[in-house]
A and B are shown apart, each in its own frame.
Chain A
Amino acid sequence: MSDAMTSDKMVAREKAEAKVPFETILEVKGLKRYFDVSAPWLNRVLEGAPKQILKAVDGIDFAIKPGETFSLVGESGCGKSTVAKLIVGLHGPSSGSIEFEGMDIAGRSRKEMAPIRRRLQMIFQDPYASLNPRWKVRDIIAEPIRAFDLADSPDEVLERVGRLLTQVGLAPADGDKYPHEFSGGQRQRLSIARALASEPDFLVCDEPTSALDVSVQAQILNLMRDLQKELGLTYLFISHNLAVVCHVSDRVGVMYLGRLAEVAPTDLLFSKPRHPYTRLLLDTIPDLEMSGRERMPVAGEVPNPINPPDGCAFHPRCPFANDRCRSERPDPRPTGDGALVACHGIEEGRIPDAPIISKPAVPEGLSA
């Protein structure tokens, strides 16, 4: 009975989607988020210290097509998690727009956001911190169903919870347990079940496997892939692990200090990385093929985002930097084959396609 109802609902939704075909499900334009990290007012007055603004996300644009997996990759502090929080509305943007199916959702009120929040869910990194330890699993998963009023009777809620648990590879009887009775991988399955409870179209996954062991990570990545096929989900996947990103994504955006350095389809990014940062990042992936090549680690560290370098933020670590890179900030430009690269050197064609000079051997990604 309720099975038929949900499928009816799904059909209805599909129809609604068919009516207004959106080329992009989510589009982010000029998104910025600044945090004020100044000392308290009194200290500023007494010590004459200036205001300090941390530009966590400093003007990024990207668009995600329905059914695809778009990944943001970068080192800690590059702003990738802030982007995730901006999209689900946990932070409001300082400027810029976030369009979900053509509607700007940035800075909307809670009430206005409610119908969109149902369709836009999030999976968090730490499954130990993101599940309420005092709630039974059944209540945790039922919460979105109740909050969005998606079931007609308590029995239907229960039935749905059971179905969701089965869907993520657990048993309906697990609903009676508490989160502490589950292992890390199983908890992440619970987080996924909760995210799916409101029948979303779009999932923001912030480092969903970073806290897990590799064999469990494989289980979760496979599960996410199966669910995507089954339910036609769109993922924004955030990770620092390039191998995982390469495995799951259709397109990848590489972030560095709050900006996008390069956006490209996965195959292209990993076979022909353009931006010097992307190349150096790819070169840091430990080599399981045992080719015995000596890696050339990227020199230096990510600069302090409160005081980012002028011009291209990567220039202090970039072997190709010149005066223009030090003074003028590059904007992402299309390269003609589907990639966007924010680099003066690439635009001017002065960066060779060949591997970066200081390296003795061809990196794995380029030779493949």
Chain B
Amino acid sequence: MSKHLLEVKNLRIEFPTRRGLLTAIDDVSFHIDEGEVLGVVGESGAGKSLTGAAIIGLLEPPGRVAGGEIIMNGRRIDNLGYEEMRKIRGREIGAIFQDPLTSLNPLYTVGRQLTETIMTHTDMTPTKARERAIELLTEVGIPAPEKRVDQYPHQFSGGMRQRVVIALALCVNPKLVVADEPTTALDVSIQAQIIALLKKLCRDHGTAVMLVTHDMGVIAETADRVAVMYAGRIAEVGPVRQVVKQAKHPYTEGLMGSIPMIGHTGEKLQQIEGSMPRLTNIPTGCAFNPRCPKAFDRCFKERPNTIDVDGTEVACWLYDKEAAHV
């Protein structure tokens, strides 16, 4: 059995609510290898951010991991206590969030936040840590880092702040970075800069990335493999080229068709009718069945297994039928 850096097995996340139990993530399994970029796409409410939060142990109560395992480097991390998890977070798993303004403390200088993180996880002296902080700021492309290190987050622009957050996530060389919509709050030209930076740094450091985003374009450019999520389940996981070019799952197909592309003016966009079901109201069988143009009897009765089709794992009965025919 090959050893994966991170393995998520049958993860199930539940939220107890007044109106009963809400299953936000239902039986999700995937893995990330060392140095690999796994893209996780899906529409809002698909559970992609929640999966990321569970991995870094920042699931907000009352949400809880109700089943399954998260294994990092051969060690189970989903049942660790707060203090133990705190040591892993930052040291082994770094995090980058969507809004750089809320993920930096406005009352501390950028340098203090960096040195604090570095000193928590290593035994560097304050002077050494400060040098390292300046080095990191240089690495993420912040001009005049010696001056900038003593400034506060509000003195940075959005793109620069996100660079600081990246520096913060990478400051003690974690093995894995969970990046939750790292470019969504940024302008297009800045987005391109940040993606290029993230790609370069992770390549240089050999860091694996779980890149959570709703933007298929960002995934296509950055990821090695993609997991497509729908209503708290995985629809399809496979190499990025295959998923983007020859989507197997009808949902992925619809999603790809609905993205407007340069050079395709005048045509009508393909659209998926309806919207994602509410989590309280997920249909039996395949969660996508009410919107699926190819749904048949079995889709309404049984939840599809993941089926391996040319290296892509697809949760769709269409492919089981085909396999039976051959």
**Are B244 and A285 neighbours in the complex by a CB distance under 8 Å?**
no
Known: A288-B217, A290-B220. A365 touches B262 (CB 8 A): yes
**Are B192 and A298 neighbours in the complex by a CB distance under 8 Å?**
yes
Q: Does A227 contact B (CB under 8 A)?
A: no
**Are B259 and A295 neighbours in the complex by a CB distance under 8 Å?**
no
| Interface segment, one of B23-31, B88-96, B263-271, B297-305 | B263-271
Report which of A215, A244, A290, A301 forms a contact with B190, defined as CB distance below 8 A.
A301
Contacts of A185 in B (CB 8 A): 275
Query: How far is the CB of A257 from the nearest CB of chain B, in Å?
Result: 13
Q: Which residue of B lies closest to A249 (CB)?
A: B265
Q: Does B254 contact A (CB under 8 A)?
A: yes
Contact with A along B217-247 (1 / 0, CB 8 A): 1101100000000000000000011001100
Q: Does A76 contact B (CB under 8 A)?
A: yes
Contacts of A365 in B (CB 8 A): 262-263
Known: A243-B261, A295-B196. A286 touches B187 (CB 8 A): no
Query: How far is the CB of B144 from the nearest CB of chain A, in Å?
Result: 14
The residues in B between 157 and 200 inclusive whose CB is less than 8 angstroms from any CB of A are 157, 159-160, 187-193, 195-196
Query: How far is the CB of B265 from the nearest CB of chain A, in Å?
Result: 6
Contact with B along A232-248 (1 / 0, CB 8 A): 00000000111110111
| Interface segment, one of A57-65, A193-201, A218-226 | A218-226
**Are A213 and B187 neighbours in the complex by a CB distance under 8 Å?**
no
Contacts of A298 in B (CB 8 A): 189, 192-193
**Are A285 and B275 neighbours in the complex by a CB distance under 8 Å?**
no
Size of the chain A interface, CB-CB below 8 angstroms:
46
Q: Which residue of A lies closest to B221 (CB)?
A: A286
Contacts of A286 in B (CB 8 A): 192, 195, 215-218, 220-221
Contacts of B220 in A (CB 8 A): 286-288, 290
CA of A185 to CA of B45, assembled, Å: 14
Known: A222-B271, A295-B192. A285 touches B258 (CB 8 A): no
CA of A288 to CA of B261, assembled, Å: 8
Known: A214-B214, A215-B255, A266-B265. A281 touches B271 (CB 8 A): no
Contacts of A216 in B (CB 8 A): 43, 275
Query: How extensive is the interface on chain B, given as a class?
Result: 35 or more
**Are B189 and A281 neighbours in the complex by a CB distance under 8 Å?**
yes
Q: Which residue of A lies closest to B43 (CB)?
A: A213
Contacts of A297 in B (CB 8 A): 189, 192-193, 195-196
Q: Does A217 contact B (CB under 8 A)?
A: yes
The residues in B between 11 and 52 inclusive whose CB is less than 8 angstroms from any CB of A are 43-44
Q: Which residue of B lies closest to A299 (CB)?
A: B193
**Are B217 and A287 neighbours in the complex by a CB distance under 8 Å?**
yes
**Are B193 and A214 neighbours in the complex by a CB distance under 8 Å?**
no
Tell me the interface secondary structure of chain A in the complex.
Answer: helix
Contacts of A221 in B (CB 8 A): 260, 269
Report which of A186, A270, A281, A288 forms a contact with B188, defined as CB distance below 8 A.
A281
Contacts of A302 in B (CB 8 A): 187
CA of A243 to CA of B268, assembled, Å: 14
CA of A368 to CA of B188, assembled, Å: 21
Query: How far is the CB of B39 from the nearest CB of chain A, in Å?
Result: 12
Known: A214-B214, A214-B255, A216-B275. A295 touches B188 (CB 8 A): no
Contacts of B58 in A (CB 8 A): none
CA of A328 to CA of B26, assembled, Å: 61
**Are B192 and A284 neighbours in the complex by a CB distance under 8 Å?**
yes
CA of A286 to CA of B192, assembled, Å: 8
CA of A161 to CA of B245, assembled, Å: 43
Known: A218-B271, A219-B271, A246-B260. A290 touches B245 (CB 8 A): yes
The residues in B between 243 and 300 inclusive whose CB is less than 8 angstroms from any CB of A are 244-245, 254-265, 268-273, 275
CA of A243 to CA of B241, assembled, Å: 20
Q: Which residue of A lies closest to B291 (CB)?
A: A215
CA of A53 to CA of B214, assembled, Å: 38
CA of A281 to CA of B254, assembled, Å: 27
Known: A244-B260, A288-B216. A218 touches B189 (CB 8 A): no
CA of A353 to CA of B275, assembled, Å: 44
Known: A246-B260, A287-B217, A295-B196. A215 touches B271 (CB 8 A): yes
CA of A288 to CA of B257, assembled, Å: 11
Q: Does A267 contact B (CB under 8 A)?
A: yes
Report which of A213, A270, A283, A295 forms a contact with B221, defined as CB distance below 8 A.
A295
**Are A290 and B255 neighbours in the complex by a CB distance under 8 Å?**
no
**Are A222 and B189 neighbours in the complex by a CB distance under 8 Å?**
no
Q: Does A364 contact B (CB under 8 A)?
A: yes
Report which of B43, B159, B262, B273 forms a contact with A243, defined as CB distance below 8 A.
B262
Known: A222-B271, A290-B241, A295-B196. A284 touches B191 (CB 8 A): yes
CA of A225 to CA of B269, assembled, Å: 10
Max chain B CB contacts within 10 Å: which of A76, A185, A284?
Answer: A284
Q: Does A98 contact B (CB under 8 A)?
A: no
Query: How far is the CB of B161 from the nearest CB of chain A, in Å?
Result: 11
The residues in A between 260 and 308 inclusive whose CB is less than 8 angstroms from any CB of B are 266-267, 270, 280-288, 290, 295, 297-299, 301-302
Contacts of A285 in B (CB 8 A): 188, 217, 262
Report which of A213, A243, A284, A290 forms a contact with B189, defined as CB distance below 8 A.
A284
Q: Please provide the 4 A-B residue pairs with the shortest distance between their CB atoms, ordered closest to farther.
A: A286-B217, A218-B258, A247-B260, A297-B192
26 A–B contacts from the bound complex (CB under 8 Å): A75-B190, A213-B44, A213-B214, A214-B43, A215-B255, A216-B43, A217-B260, A218-B269, A218-B270, A222-B271, A241-B188, A243-B262, A244-B260, A247-B264, A247-B265, A267-B265, A284-B188, A285-B262, A286-B220, A288-B256, A288-B261, A290-B240, A290-B245, A301-B159, A364-B263, A368-B263
On B, residues with C-beta under 8 Å from A are 43-44, 157, 159-160, 187-193, 195-196, 214-218, 220-221, 240-241, 244-245, 254-265, 268-273, 275
Starting from the known contacts A284-B191, A285-B262, A286-B218, 19 additional A-B residue pairs (CB-CB under 8 Å) come to A75-B187, A75-B188, A213-B43, A215-B258, A215-B275, A218-B260, A222-B268, A242-B188, A242-B262, A247-B260, A247-B261, A248-B260, A283-B192, A286-B215, A287-B221, A288-B220, A297-B196, A298-B193, A368-B263
On A, residues with C-beta under 8 Å from B are 75-76, 183-186, 213-219, 221-222, 225, 240-244, 246-248, 266-267, 270, 280-288, 290, 295, 297-299, 301-302, 364-365, 368
